[in-house]
Amino acid sequence: MGNCSDRRATNREKKLYPGPKKQFLSQLFFWWELSVIFKRGSKDFTEDDLSAPLDSHESKKLADKLELAWLEEEKHKIPSLGRVLLSLFGLEFATYAIIFLPLRIGIMLMRPHFLKKLLHFFSPPKNEVTLQKAYMYAGLLVFATFVDLITYHWYMMGLSVLGMKIRVACSSLIYRKCLKQSVGVGLEVGKIINLLSNDANRFDLALPVIHFVWMTPVVIIVGIVYLYFTVDSTATAGVVGLLLSLLFEVYVSKKISSNRMRVALKTDYRIRLMNDIVSGIKVIKMYTWEKPFSRLVHVARMLEIREMLRANLFRSINYIVPTFLNHFCIYLCVLAATLVGVPLMYSYVFIVELLYNNLNNTEVIYLPVAVTQLAELRVSIKRIEDFLVSPGEKSIMKTNRRSDKVVDSCKLIPLQQISCNILQNRSTGVYLDNIRVRWNSSLTTNILNGVYFSAQMGELIGIIGAAGSGKSTLLQTILKEVDPMEGIVDAASETTFCLEKQ
C-alpha cells in the first residue's frame, strides 16, 4: 500500500515538471514557472511543489555510467578522472560552445554596425539615413542585445545543468568508494566531507565559465580585425591593455591553483582533527585535556585561515582589474588617435566604447572567473582522482587472491620473502614481524613502529597502553583492516573478532 502511494506521489511530482512536452518558447523563457509562482504566491512551498528529477539526472544512472567508465580507466597504467569525464560528457560540453561562440561573435559585430548606421542619421548630410531607417537600426540594435541575452542565458543554464550532473556522478562514485574502502586507508572523515562539499561542488561553479578561457582570445582577435578595418588602426591601441591583463591573469591562475591545494590540505587536517576530538571526547573530559586540544584546534584553524586569506587576496586582485581596464583601453585609443591626428568624431568614440565594452565583458569579467575556477577545478579533479585510485577493497576473496601460490599447504608470499619452512615450523596463531603502520601515507609519524607480536592458539594475551598508543590500530592490523607500511602479518588461519563487555 505504501509503495502504491509513493508511486502515485512520484507520478504527481513528475507532472509538475514540463520536460520536453512544453513548447520551445516556454522552456527558453521559463514561462512554465509562472503558474507555480502565481499559484503559490501567498502560500508556503511544500514538497508537493517540487518536481521529480529527470531520468538523465538520476544519481544511480549517472553513477553507474561513471563507475563503468572508471573501472575501464583503471586498467591503464596511469588512470585519469579527467579523461573519463571528457569521454562521457565532453561532447555535450563542447556542443554548447560550438553553438554559442558564433552567435556571440555575430551579435558583437552587428551591434557596432547598427550603431554606426544610426549615428549617420544625426550627422550631415541626413539624406543617407531616413527617419524610417533610423527607427529600423535602433530596433535592430535593441533586438541584437535581446538575442545576446537569450543566448547567454541558454548557454549558462545548459552548462550549469551539465555541471550538476557531473557533480552528482562524482559524489555518488566517492560514496561507493567509501563503502568498499578499508578502515583507515585514506578514509579520513574530514577528507571525505571536504571532497563532497568543496571539490565536487567545483563542477557547478567552473563548467558555465570554463569555455571563456579559450573563447576570449578568439573574440579579441575578431574584435581587433573589425576595429582595424572598419574604424581606424588607432582603435586597436586598447588591445595592449587587454594583453597585459591576460598575462597577469595567467600568473594569478598559477598562484590560485597552488594555493587551492594548500587550503584543501589544511581543511582536511582541521576536519580530521575535529572528528578525532569528537570521537574521543569522553577520554578528553576524563583526563581534562580540553585546553591542549583547544590549542591544537586553534592552531589548525589559524593555519587554514592564513591560506584562505592568501587565496582571497589573489581572487580580489583578479576581480579588481575589470573596474578600470575598460576605461584604460578607451583612453589608450583616444590617446593614440590624438597623437596620430585622427579626428575624434562621435562615431569613432561610440563604436570604440561599445566594442571594447563587449570585449571587456568577455575578457575582463568572465575570463578572471574562468581562470580561477579552472585552476581550482584541476586541483579538485586531482584530489578526487587520488582518492579513487587509493587502495580500497579488502574482502576475504581479495585476501585469498593476494596469496600468490599454495605449495604443500603452505602459503608463499614473495613480497614478504617468507620461506615455506619457516611457516611450516610455526604453530597455528598470529604473528607480526617488524610492523610499521600509518593511517595516512602523507603523515610523518608511525602509529605502530617496529612492533613484534605473536599469539598462539589457546593463549590469553592482554594489551595495555595509554590513549592513542595504538591498541586499536594493532587489532585492526591483525584483522587486516589496515595494511602496514612495512613488516609481515601472518595469520595461519581465519581470524575473527568478538567484543565482550563486562
State the angle between helix axes of 131-180 and 59-73 in degrees (0 to 180), rounded to the nearest 10. 70
Average pLDDT for 214-237: 86
Q: How confident is the model at residue 492 (pLDDT cuts 50, 70, 90)?
A: low
Q: How confident is the model at residue 440 (pLDDT cuts 50, 70, 90)?
A: low
Helix%, strand%, coil% for the chain, nearest 5: 70, 5, 25
Average pLDDT for 422-437: 70
Considering only residues 137 and 494, tell me which one the structure prediction assigns the higher pLDDT: 137
Q: How confident is the model at residue 21 (pLDDT cuts 50, 70, 90)?
A: low
Q: Which three cell numbers stand for residue 116?
A: 554606426
Considering only residues 315 and 305, tell me which one the structure prediction assigns the higher pLDDT: 305
Considering only residues 379 and 315, tell me which one the structure prediction assigns the higher pLDDT: 379
Rounded alpha-carbon distances, angstroms, from residue 175 to 202, 244, 391:
17, 44, 15
Nearest to 118 by CA among 142, 106, 136, 144: 136
Select, from the ranges 1-10, 254-263, 378-387, 483-492, the one with the highest average predicted confidence (pLDDT).
378-387
Q: How far apart are CA 92 and CA 358, in angstroms?
A: 26
- Which of the residue ranges 51-65, 319-333, 373-387, 423-437 would you say has the lowest mean pLDDT? 423-437
Q: Which three cell numbers stand for residue 348?
A: 569613432
CB 484 within 8 A of CB 492: no
pLDDT at 191: 77
Q: How confident is the model at residue 140 (pLDDT cuts 50, 70, 90)?
A: very high
Give pLDDT tens digits for 92-101.
999 999 999 9
Exposure pattern of 394-408 as b/e (b: 16+ CB <10 Å)?
Answer: beeeeeeeeeeeeee
Res 402 pLDDT > 60: no
Instruction: Give all domains of the chain, ordered by start, each with its CATH number.
Output: 2-45 (no CATH), 61-389 (1.20.1560.10), 396-491 (3.40.50.300)
- Which of the residue ranges 72-86, 222-236, 353-367, 374-388 would you say has the lowest mean pLDDT? 353-367
Per-chain mean pLDDT for the chain: 77
Q: How far apart are CA 279 and CA 273, in angstroms?
A: 10
Res 166 pLDDT > 90: yes
Q: pTM value?
A: 0.65
pLDDT at 399: 36
Nearest to 480 by CA among 427, 425, 441, 430: 430
* Measured torsion, CA atoms of residues 25, 28, 33, 38, in degrees rounded to the nearest 10: -60
Exposure pattern of 132-163 as b/e (b: 16+ CB <10 Å)?
Answer: eebeebeebbeebeeebeebeebbeebbebbb
